[in-house]
């Protein structure tokens, strides 16, 4: 089971790095909180709970982008990507390890964001939380691969959002639908399908993104 | 396997087919009982949309070939196919918008699943070009573009499902688009029009491909002579 | 022309215009390619003229 061991090692490395450097996660937490405050001023007085919930998803999406743009930064700055790629493990383990660590960051950010949302705007119910959880899987899977793709380019801070947002549209539809619609089960099912399809495609194709 | 064809022959075929198609649409196809003259836009709008899908699929196929067999020509072919797909996609949005205006009185309708899907795909494939311009030419760029092109075809059904869910359950539909009930003659005109547009797309694809190959050969020649 | 006719005509016109724009772009590209070929033939000619001189020097 060395594959899973490799994945675990890689994920642990990223989490430990973050624990020591403390640059990405605090930024994500502060960003999501500030965005929620801005949204209060953006929404007119008689806005519905639905509008606020929609904006929550915007906040989560952009917080995720913030974290994703940092995900390969450490490797790039240290020039370590080649070392990782040459390591004897399966390249897709790099993707899985990174995606897992992003998932942890997202989860921690949401641990702050959801209570804050409940405090500022409206109640958070089970289907919202389930939607957020499933959406996180999709965001982590697709976002990690696209972060690796964007890392090879020039204007990578610009490129990542451009590449990510069209692929994130179905995630947002699924998440918002799960949160506000009466038929949440359909949307949660859809999110599960999205996650399954794209996790598989990302896992299979990551190797090609980092090698030549 | 390189198929031996003649580009002028392909272009002539496109010319003949397109002219015949337009003649069929204007003179032969019966007018729709419900929608009247505006239904005639369908004969171009829907085949253009379908052709765009075909080009995106072709681009993804060539991308797969590039990743699996390392065929040196496949990356360029994938790029040109997606370029054609984006052109036809933009045409889909424009003709669809005109059709929406004449049918429903608005230039854009979020309730039209097909239009919204094409908007999302347009954004996705436009980002493909951002990707290609941002990375230096080479194997990294070719590989990343190929993976992205394959993501595109995975996105098409997923987005379609998502948009349909959204329009059914989140946004109440104000205008519903009924697929036109096509009589036999209408259906024949539709298929003929689609064949004509596919031939046009193939012709434009080959022309652009030939132009880009020529670019590459001239660059090679320049390096040999300098 | 009724309104419906105007819109239908506009839809087909747009397609026609896009194809024409394509032809324009190809024409511009052809011009550029012609210029490049002219430059490259100049380079090739210059090279060819240098060769016999080089041969003469080598023998001497």
pLDDT tens-digit map of B90-103: 999 999 999 888 88
CA distance B47 to B40: 12
CA distance B186 to B180: 10
Chains A and C share 3 or more Cβ pairs within 8 Å: no
3-state secondary structure of B8: helix
Is B40 in contact with C8 (Cβ distance < 8 A)? yes
Tokens linked to A170 = 């179905």
In a domain, C39, yes or no: yes
Instruction: Convert B149-183 to b/e letters by CB count within 10 Å (16 or more is b).
Output: bbbbbbbbebbbbbbebbbebbeeeeeebeebebe
In a domain, C9, yes or no: no
Mutation choice for B interface testing from C8, C18, C26, C32 by most B CBs within 10 A: C8
Q: Exposed, middle or buried: residue B141 (CB in 10 Å: 0-12, 13-18, 19+)?
A: buried
Q: According to the model, what pLDDT value does residue A41 have? A: 86
CB pairs under 8 A between A and B: 98
Query: Quick one: CA dihedral B196, B201, B204, B207, positive or negative?
Result: negative
Full DSSP string of A96-159? HHHHHHHHHHHHHHHHHHHHHHHHHT----HHHHHHHHHHHHHHHHHHHHHHHHHHTSSSHHHH
Mutation choice for B interface testing from A50, A138, A158, A169 by most B CBs within 10 A: A169
Tokens linked to A10 = 């890689």
pLDDT in tens, B28-58: 777 776 777 777 888 889 999 999 999 999 9
Is the pLDDT reported for residue B179 higher than 60? no
Which is nearest to B198 in space by CA: B20, B48, B96, B7? B48
Q: How confident is the model at residue B181 (pLDDT cuts 50, 70, 90)?
A: low
User: What are the phi and psi torsion angles at B195 (to 5°)?
Assistant: -60, -40
Residue B2 to chain A, least CA–CA distance (Å): 26
First to last CA, chain B: 34
Per-residue pLDDT, averaged over C12-40, amounts to 89
Report the number of distinct structural domains present in chain C.
1
Per-residue pLDDT, averaged over C26-51, amounts to 86
Distances (CA, A) of B211 to A123, A141, B78, B89, C27: 59, 38, 15, 22, 11
Domain boundaries along the sequence of chain A: 2-210
Per-residue pLDDT, averaged over B168-195, amounts to 73
Q: Find the closest chain C residue to B215 by CA distance.
A: C33
pTM score over 0.90: no
Per-residue pLDDT, averaged over A187-209, amounts to 94
- Which residues of chain A does B132 touch, with a Cβ-Cβ cutoff of 8 Å? none
Highest mean pLDDT among A5-9, A153-157, B75-79: B75-79
Residue B187 to chain C, least CA–CA distance (Å): 19
Percent composition of chain A: helix, strand, coil (DSSP 3-state, to 5): 85, 0, 15
Q: How confident is the model at residue A104 (pLDDT cuts 50, 70, 90)?
A: very high
Is A166 in contact with B123 (Cβ distance < 8 A)? yes
Q: Which domain holds residue C50?
A: 21-60
Average pLDDT over chain A, rounded to an integer = 88
CB A45 within 8 Å of CB A156: no
Q: Does B118 contact chain C (CB < 8 Å)?
A: no
- Which residues of chain B does A92 touch, with a Cβ-Cβ cutoff of 8 Å? none
Is B158 in contact with A197 (Cβ distance < 8 A)? yes
Is B161 in contact with A169 (Cβ distance < 8 A)? no
Is the pLDDT reported for residue A19 higher than 90? no
Q: According to the model, what pLDDT value does residue A202 have? A: 95
Is A163 in contact with B155 (Cβ distance < 8 A)? no
CB pairs under 8 A between B and C: 63
CB B98 within 8 Å of CB C9: no
CB B120 within 8 Å of CB B166: no
Q: According to the model, what pLDDT value does residue C60 have? A: 53
C11 → closest Cβ in B98, B207, B221: B98
Per-residue pLDDT, averaged over B54-73, amounts to 93
Average pLDDT over chain B, rounded to an integer = 87
């Amino acid at each position: 089971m060395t594959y899973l061991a490799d994945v675990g090692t890689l994920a642990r490395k990223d989490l430990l790095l973050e624990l020591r450097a403390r640059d990405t996660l605090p930024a994500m937490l502060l960003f999501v909180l500030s965005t929620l405050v801005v949204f209060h001023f953006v929404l007119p007085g008689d806005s519905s709970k639905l509008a606020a919930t929609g904006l929550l998803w915007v906040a989560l999406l952009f917080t995720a982008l913030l974290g994703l743009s940092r995900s390969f930064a450490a490797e790039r700055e240290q020039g370590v990507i080649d070392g990782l790629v040459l390591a004897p493990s399966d390249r897709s383990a790099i993707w899985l390890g990174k995606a897992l660590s992003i998932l942890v960051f997202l989860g921690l950010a949401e641990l702050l964001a959801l209570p804050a949302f409940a405090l500022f705007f409206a109640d958070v119910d089970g289907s919202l939380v389930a939607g957020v959880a499933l959406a996180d899987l999709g965001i982590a899977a697709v976002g990690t691969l696209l972060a690796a793709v964007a890392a090879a380019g020039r204007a990578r801070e610009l490129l990542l959002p451009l590449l990510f947002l069209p692929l994130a549209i179905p995630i947002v539809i699924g998440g918002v639908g799960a949160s506000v619609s009466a038929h949440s089960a359909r949307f949660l099912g859809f999110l599960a399908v999205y996650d399954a399809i794209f996790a598989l495609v990302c896992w299979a194709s990551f190797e090609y993104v980092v090698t030549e | 396997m390189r198929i031996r064809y003649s580009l002028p022959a392909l272009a002539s075929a496109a010319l003949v087919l397109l002219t015949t198609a337009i003649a069929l649409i204007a003179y032969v196809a019966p007018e729709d009982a419900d929608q009247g003259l505006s239904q005639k836009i369908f004969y171009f709008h829907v085949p253009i949309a379908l052709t765009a899908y075909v080009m995106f699929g072709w681009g993804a196929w060539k991308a797969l070939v590039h990743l699996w067999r390392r065929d040196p020509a496949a990356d360029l072919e994938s790029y040109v196919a997606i370029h054609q797909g984006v052109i036809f996609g933009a045409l889909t949005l424009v003709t669809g918008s005109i059709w929406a205006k004449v049918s429903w009185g608005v230039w854009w309708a979020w309730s039209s699943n097909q239009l919204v899907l094409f908007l999302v795909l347009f954004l996705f494939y436009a980002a493909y070009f951002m990707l290609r311009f941002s990375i230096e030419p080479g194997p990294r760029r070719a590989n990343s573009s190929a993976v992205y092109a394959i993501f595109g075809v995975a996105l098409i059904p997923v987005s379609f499902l998502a948009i349909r869910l959204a329009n059914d359950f989140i946004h109440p539909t104000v205008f519903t688009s009924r697929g036109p009930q096509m009589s036999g003659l209408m259906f024949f005109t539709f298929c003929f029009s689609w064949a004509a547009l596919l031939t046009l797309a193939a012709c434009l694809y080959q022309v652009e491909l030939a132009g880009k190959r020529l670019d590459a050969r001239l660059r090679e020649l320049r390096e040999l002579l300098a | 022309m009724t309104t419906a006719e105007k819109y239908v005509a506009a839809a087909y016109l747009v397609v026609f215009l896009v194809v024409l724009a394509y032809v324009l772009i190809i024409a511009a590209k052809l011009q550029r390619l012609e210029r490049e070929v002219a430059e490259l033939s100049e380079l090739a000619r210059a090279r060819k003229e240098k060769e016999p001189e080089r041969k003469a020097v080598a023998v001497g």
